[in-house]
Every structure is written in structure tokens, then in C-alpha cells.
Structure 1
Amino acid sequence: MKTKQFKTNINCLGCVAKVTPILNPLLGENNWEVNVRDKDKILTVPTENLDEKSLLEQVKNAGFKIEIIS
């Protein structure tokens, strides 16, 4: 499966809990991951059926920063 990565400021389990109701409908449950231990807080998502514009908007609307890195 091909993935795309984004640098975020989703930096704790509370933050992950806040974006879960946003990301699950967009990407599918258990189809995304945030590495909160990495200094860049990398969000990895599958590229299949990815609506990148919607993802960026909704994460920002939830109060988090997000930028494309790969």
C-alpha cells in the first residue's frame, strides 16, 4: 500500500483522540497513524482514495498544523 506523510503538531494521545473522529471517516479506521514520538509528529495515511485537500482542511479546522512532506 502506498502512503503519504504529513508533518503535524499532533503531539500526544489526547491530540490523537481529538483527530480520530475526523480521520476515521476520511481515511478509514486503522488506516492512518501519527508517530507522536517523532520530533515532526508524522501522520502517515494511505494514498488510495485520499482527498488531500479535505484532509488538510479538516485537520487545520480541528486546530492542528499539517504540511505535506512526501
Structure 2
Amino acid sequence: MKTLKFKTNINCGGCVSKVTPFLNQQEGVESWEVDTTNPDKILTIKSDGASEEAVKATLQKVGFKAESVT
């Protein structure tokens, strides 16, 4: 299990509900959460095979940006 972290522009409950079905269906994503109280809106994903590129592509399809955080 790997943890991926992204700086995003998912900044409210409405945005979270918009990405929920896409992240829930993303292959290799076990669980995820967005810290909307953090100024960088950090998305944390517990991954069992999902790549950073795949997550970024999924978020872009829904209209959001994600930048990898190390």
C-alpha cells in the first residue's frame, strides 16, 4: 500500500462530491480524503496500484488540478 499526496484545487464539499464517484471508481485507489481546511487542499490517496499520473488524469477529466507533493 502506497500513500500519494497531491496539492489540488478541490476546495469545498461540492467539489469533493463532484470527484467522489471518479476517485471511488479509480482502479487501485483503496481510500482517499481531501483536507479542504489546508491552504493547499491536500488530497491523500491510499493506493494499491494507482499511479500519480492516473489520479491526475482522472481529476483533470472532472476539471480539477493536482500537483504531486513529496
Could you say which TM-score interval applies, normalised by the shorter chain?
A: 0.7 to 0.9
User: Deviation at 1:47?
Assistant: 3.0
Identity among equivalent pairs (%): 47
Q: Tell me what 1:59 maps to.
A: 59
Moved over 4 A (4+): none
Which digits, 9 at most, give the CA deviation of each residue in 1:1-32, with x for residues without a partner?
5411000000000000000010001124xx10
TM-score where L is the length of structure 2: 0.87
- For the aligned residues, what is the CA RMSD? 1.3
Asked if the contact 2:4/2:52 (under 8 Å) is kept, the reply is no
Question: Which runs of 5 or more residues in structure 1 are unaligned?
Answer: none
Secondary structure of residue in 1 paired with 2:22 = helix
Give the C-alpha shift of residue 61 in structure 1: 1.4
Matched residue of 1:56: which SS?
helix
TM-score by length of 1: 0.87
Shift of 1:63: 0.7
> Structure 2: which 5+ runs fail to align?
none
Q: Which has the higher strand share?
A: 2
